[in-house]
Amino acid sequence: MEQLTIITVGTPNPRLEKLLSYWGENRLTALPNSFQNQRLLLAVSLDKIGLCDGLHSLLSTLRKCTDCLEGSVAGIVVDGANALYTKSVAREIVFAANCAGCTFVGRSLVEGVATLDNFTVQASNGDCSLLEAYEKAVSDLIARIVTFAPPRQETPHLLTLHASTYGPSNTMDLWSLVQHQLPTQWTVQEVGLRNGAVSDCAGCPYTTCLHFGEEGRCFYGGVMVDDVYPALRQAQAVMLLCPNYNDALSANLTACINRLTALYRTTDFTHKAVYALVVSGYSGGDIVAKQVISALSMNKGFYLPSRFCRMELAQQPSEALALTGIKERMVDFGEQITYELDGRTQLRNMIMTKKNPIA
């Protein structure tokens, strides 16, 4: 079991301070410029306007020192003074830390809103108070941080989800470059979600969703049940190919994520990695990447490998292939994925010296 370091951001309120006091005295109030190969809990205490002392400094360090958390594994607790800002601040920090080389365990966020009403279901299921449910969630997160090890296999299964077509799609062009770097013995399965192939989740009652999830299916059936669910059960990782639509994931990818709920109720995703390739026409790639972080890692539980996302800018068809240095960046991404999923030691030195993934 690895030693845990707690980095506090802002002055912890009495509730959060009590929680943190349970886990030793190895605490810092600022992130060093180099803090590699650590096990970290980032503990953030927000005021009523969603800010705190040290937040700007933390983000500044993470964005400037693009390898300062290389090899580290982390989770985050955000305690708020109202019902707003906890998740938006958390994913801003997680995105920056991930770009700086940090891996985040699945379900990496524990958030405590002012009333702790967000723990109502957990408290009911655990027959405990809201505060006790909060404490249990933090304790569980810490246990997963200090014991986390990326599951590696000689022949991983990678599921790729997209709603694009080859030819006019810059996103698919870049995926082709990445895929060519993956070992031929891997199973790389693509599932297309175009043209109404997937219906969005209609929000079935919990018991209905659980019933269908226990049977490995969903009320609405279709490509999700026929293709996505079976592939995801086998996969060690999922790759999302994400053209930027109005600073958001495409409708079909969003529907797919929503429809994973039935499978999530019966399947543990915490040992599955999520990657993303985002292509924007103008800007906003970071916004889409953060949506993937909150939807699939914080909520559905996929773990977030370091530098999980590559973001590029391209407008006209095939323009992405002409970007300066694009082949090298996509080769780099493919080699990173190869090392992380099957542990090929000859790639280790290359992966450990990566640069900022933002072009």
Q: Tell me: the pLDDT tens digits for 297-336?
A: 999 999 999 999 999 999 999 999 999 999 999 999 999 9
Q: How far apart are CA 103 and CA 100, in angstroms?
A: 9
Give the alpha-carbon dihedral of 301, 304, 305, 306, to 10 degrees.
-160
- How is residue 183 written in tokens? 């070992």
The β-bridge partners of 6 are: 27, 41
Confirm if 305 and 338 have CB atoms less than 8 A apart.
no
Say if residue 239 is exposed, middle or buried (CB neighbours under 10 Å; 0-12, 13-18, 19+).
Answer: buried
Residue type at position 126: G
Question: Do 142 and 193 sit in the same domain of this protein?
Answer: no
Confirm if 24 and 2 have CB atoms less than 8 A apart.
no
Q: How confident is the model at residue 349 (pLDDT cuts 50, 70, 90)?
A: very low
Q: How far apart are CA 299 and CA 295, in angstroms?
A: 5
- Chain-centroid distance of CA 76 in Å reads 12
Q: How far apart are CA 28 and CA 6, in angstroms?
A: 6
What percent of the chain clears pLDDT 90, i.e. is strictly above it?
Answer: 77
Q: How many domains in the chain?
A: 2
Q: How far apart are CA 284 and CA 289, in angstroms?
A: 9
Is the pLDDT score of 156 beyond 50? yes
The verdict on residue 125 lying in a domain is yes
Question: Do 196 and 305 sit in the same domain of this protein?
Answer: yes
Nearest to 358 by CA among 315, 311, 322, 313: 311
Q: How confident is the model at residue 356 (pLDDT cuts 50, 70, 90)?
A: very low
The verdict on residue 357 lying in a domain is no
Question: Do 171 and 56 sit in the same domain of this protein?
Answer: no
The verdict on residue 166 lying in a domain is yes
Question: Do 182 and 113 sit in the same domain of this protein?
Answer: no
Question: Do 291 and 321 sit in the same domain of this protein?
Answer: yes
CATH number assigned to the domain comprising residue 312: 3.40.50.360
For the whole model, what pTM was predicted?
Answer: 0.90
The verdict on residue 99 lying in a domain is yes
Is the pLDDT score of 355 beyond 50? no
| Residue that is last in its domain, among 122, 147, 172 | 147
Nearest to 163 by CA among 155, 174, 172: 172
